[in-house]
Structure 1
Amino acid sequence: MTAIAVLGSTNMDLVAYVPKAPRLGETVTGSAFRTVPGGKGANQAVAAARSGGEVVMIGAVGADEFGVRLRSALTAAGVETAALRTVEGASGTAHITVDDEGGNSIIVIPGANGGVTGLEAGDAARIGAADLLLLQLELPMEAVLAGASAARAQGVRTVLTPAPARMLPHELLGLVDLLVPNEHEAAALTGFTDPLGAAEALLREVPEVVVTLGAAGVLYAARGQEPLTVPAPRVRAVDTTAAGDTFVGALAVALGEGRPMPQALRWASAAAALSVQRPGAQDSMPTRAETDAFAAAGPLPAAGPHPGATS
């Protein structure tokens, strides 16, 4: 079983469903409201656990009702929460608007996540016992750097999702083995709107890059290799919240199992395709059995050379 450590955020998602997202100064009437456990770190932890990984979550929740629910949701998914601290104050929250096309916009309030500025006793050992470390950018940069440094020192493969997008210090990029931005984050990091151009620019900093392209699939690029694309399975999206986190969690499990990258990308894309057909973040994430069944129901799109690649 793949052992995965996640150093990241836990948030309660406050989700409003609307026909169309409001413009600045506009008021719209929504169709539904839900509170569901989320946070990019917790989402990736749940996705990895449901995909068959043995997962430990490192982070913090607040001493409030949301904190209790967030911890309970992780435990119910099979995630180890001994390293998820409870601190004074509010838990993190994410205020999400989902439109009828499945698109979303998100405002994150860090809450307890903002107090995670480094590793605590036992965290380095937890990271060292893992096959992979998953990182995102909803914790302070000091904590992300500390986690990446601990992983590198112990030979643990580090996967970073650079979201929310921001300029990354070279020190951090030098510790990352696989970077997984979406196309907008890749553009923000490099200035290239073309995903292939962005990926090639990022390869100057990290050895491997996967750019997620939504309904268009994913682009994989690695130093010394031809870039390749994996088209996404065609499904009707209901809610794309946490689709990227579902992909990363499933991909981590597949890589930890030693699957070749093209196969791992197809399997993770299948998990993400299942997630967008359901509302919510963690609630939408498929089990390993569901992903396997979806993959077995018909041939998944094959990986192929990216159209912009040169032979």
Structure 2
Amino acid sequence: MDVFVVGALHLDVVVDAPHLPALDETVVGSSVAYRFGGKGGNQAVAAARMGARTGMAGQVGTDGFGEQILGALDAAGVDRRQVRQSSGASGMSVAVVDRNGDYGAVIVSGANLGIDPIEVTPPDGLKVLLLQNEIPEAVNLAVAMHVPAETLIILNAAPARPLAPTLLKRTDIFVVNRVEHLALLASLSEAGIPPEEKTILATRGAEGLALTEPGYEPVALPAHIVPVVSTHGAGDAFVGALAAELARGAKLPAATRFAQGAAALAVTTPPDARSEIKEAEVRAFLLQTASR
């Protein structure tokens, strides 16, 4: 298997509104949609769409949301044999997307908090293990320690939280945004690990990202300038594409540019139409932008 994702599965309730509500403000929205989500789920689907043989371990409830989540994994071609169903509610989120495509969200973890690491078995010959912070750290740590040293471990350290020294040492690549980057640096400092000894991709939205890799000078990669329809899920599109390209053997800078292309296409495409974005579309986009 190319990519194995252990993470959260949600059904997202997405509301379009002119702006995000302020404290005590009620805003009149224009539409509502129910979409497959959760960082783990989104990243697994993104990796599969980018051509990687992808598996997923997680947990959903026995409710209607859970059935929709399982159906979305099947439609994307994700191997979900390690996605368990438990009694109770599936994870969900509520997101408000403004007229500029920016958003704010609240998640309710539900069944995701009940993932049992004993029931998670990374496949033999796995190339990339992909983790996030929407599930308990004990699960991430147990799975990370279970894979062989040659398996590349990517941790999308979102949302921000303190990280155990053992997980910090075992993780090969961290993907973080501005807030998560600060939390990661604090955890590294507390563990006595110099940040320059770790590979970190710090995303900056429209400003691009910063890549630090041991033995190399830091690199700033600008973002693609594209019209924005919605940024919701773009970060997960980036991480999933990154994992898929690394599993194919690409070097990190090249894989990062590929992932930036996938994210750029995601933000320019309505979420309901993103299933059409595949590896070929990303490569064509990158060729087109390189020729400008």
Tell me the TM-score range normalised by the shorter chain: over 0.9
**CA–CA separation in structure 2 for the residues paired with 1:180 and 1:104:** 20
State the 1:205 CA deviation.
Answer: 8.0
State the 1:24 CA deviation.
Answer: 1.1
- Contact 1:117-1:141 at 8 Å conserved across structures: no
Aligned-residue RMSD, C-alpha: 2.2
Deviations 1:41-68 (A, max 9, x none): 0000000000110000000111011111
- Contact 2:49-2:275 at 8 Å conserved across structures: no
State the 1:206 CA deviation.
Answer: 5.7
SS at match of 1:112: helix
**CA–CA separation in structure 2 for the residues paired with 1:287 and 1:68:** 25
State the 1:190 CA deviation.
Answer: 3.0
- Residue in 1 that maps onto 2:213: 222
**CA–CA separation in structure 2 for the residues paired with 1:49 and 1:210:** 21
Matches within 5 A, 1:292-303: 292-299=283-290
- Residue in 1 that maps onto 2:35: 36
**CA–CA separation in structure 2 for the residues paired with 1:286 and 1:202:** 38
**CA–CA separation in structure 2 for the residues paired with 1:5 and 1:46:** 11
- Residue in 2 that maps onto 1:254: 245
Matched, 1:209 2:239: no
Deviations 1:219-243 (A, max 9, x none): 1101121011211111111111111
- Residue in 1 that maps onto 2:127: 131
- Residue in 2 that maps onto 1:172: 167
**CA–CA separation in structure 2 for the residues paired with 1:270 and 1:239:** 15
Matched, 1:148 2:148: no
**CA–CA separation in structure 2 for the residues paired with 1:281 and 1:136:** 24
State the 1:124 CA deviation.
Answer: 2.7
Deviations 1:3-61 (A, max 9, x none): 11000010000011111100111101011110000000000000000011000000011
**CA–CA separation in structure 1 for the residues paired with 2:64 and 2:197:** 40
Matches within 5 A, 1:54-203: 54-120=53-119, 123-126=120-123, 128-151=124-147, 153=148, 155-190=150-185
**CA–CA separation in structure 1 for the residues paired with 2:46 and 2:194:** 27
Q: Which runs of 4+ in 1 moved over 6 A?
A: none
Instruction: Summarize the Cα distance change of 1:178–1:20 in structure 2 as closer, same or farther, 3 Å threshold.
Output: same
- Contact 1:57-1:84 at 8 Å conserved across structures: yes
SS at match of 2:216: coil
Matched, 1:3 2:2: yes
SS at match of 1:174: helix
Corresponding residue pairs, total: 289
SS at match of 2:22: coil
- Contact 1:242-1:281 at 8 Å conserved across structures: no
- Contact 1:132-1:157 at 8 Å conserved across structures: yes
With structure 2 as the length reference, what TM-score do the two structures score? 0.93
Matched, 1:268 2:262: no
Instruction: Summarize the Cα distance change of 1:256–1:282 in structure 2 as closer, same or farther, 3 Å threshold.
Output: farther
* Seq. identity, %: 39
- Contact 1:239-1:276 at 8 Å conserved across structures: yes
Instruction: Summarize the Cα distance change of 1:91–1:56 in structure 2 as closer, same or farther, 3 Å threshold.
Output: same
